[in-house]
Structure 1
Amino acid sequence: MTAFATVNDLEELWRVLKQEETGRAEQLLEVVSDSLRMEADKVGKDLDNMIATKPAFFANVVKSVTVDIVARTLMTSTDSEPMTQTTESALGYSWSGSYLVPGGGLFIKNSELSRLGLRRQRMGVIEPYV
């Protein structure tokens, strides 16, 4: 199976990659594409078939989601803990921070799955007692 985006797509939609990022990006594009296929399979959908049967713009949405996930993963530091915000104090000895990817690794946001139509919709019923 092929990736939903290329390194060229990543550079056009995000930023020009550093030389050391290119190899990692190629691998991530394949991994993310297969991860999206797996997420689609969990809800009984075939993402490749959806791309083939839906209007042409759906392929661009899948490409965009793939690039977003790979870009977020490339921003994650591999040699230290990636922080999105930190707060420090002085005499009160206080420090706090938020990690970009708690626990590390690749993650797909629920909003990204929703963009692809891969969120399970649940229907609830409330029984009124009369």
Structure 2
Amino acid sequence: MDQLQPFATIDDLATLWRTLKADETTRAEELLLVVSDSLRTEADKVGKDLDKMIDEKPPFFANVVKSVTVDIVARTLMTSTNQEPMTQTTESAMGYSWSGSYLVPGGGLFIKNSELNRLGLRRQRYGVIEFYG
């Protein structure tokens, strides 16, 4: 079975996020494939084919898919592989207090609900049912 192409490239990462360091390039290439396939899986869960959507929708939709892919890969690359990355820390002196927030608690790849919304991959829920209509 042929490998499907990722929705973004290393050049897209450099343009939309930042130039990669030499040791990040190999990891980023693999992440682009994994993230793209993960997005395809999320689309399949709601009965959609993301590749077909890109072909059928206006050309700007492909840019949205590329942007979401770059966002997820960038977030994953920012996640340290040898220590827990902190987004916020607070320290005190004489009271011996410390607190912090982790970038990705538990590590790993994750896709935000807002990113799925941007791609139209969230299931619609009915909020009101009219019984006496």
**TM-score, with normalisation over the residues of structure 1?**
0.95
Letter matched to residue 11 of structure 1: A
* CA drift at 1:92: 1.0
Paired residue for 2:35?
A: 32
Deviations 1:30-79 (A, max 9, x none): 00000000000111110000000000000000000000000000011111
Q: Structure 2: any 5+ residue segments left out of the alignment?
A: none
Over the matched positions of the two proteins, sequence identity in percent amounts to: 81
Paired residue for 1:69?
A: 72
Paired residue for 2:13?
A: 10
- Residue of structure 2 aligned with 1:79, choices 59, 82, 85: 82
Distance 2:87 2:114 in 1: 19
Letter matched to residue 35 of structure 1: S
Paired residue for 2:114?
A: 111
Deviations 1:77-123 (A, max 9, x none): 11111000000111111110000001100000010000000011100
Paired residue for 1:21?
A: 24
- For residue 70 of structure 1, give the secondary structure of its aligned residue in structure 2: helix
Paired residue for 2:59?
A: 56
**TM-score, with normalisation over the residues of structure 2?**
0.93
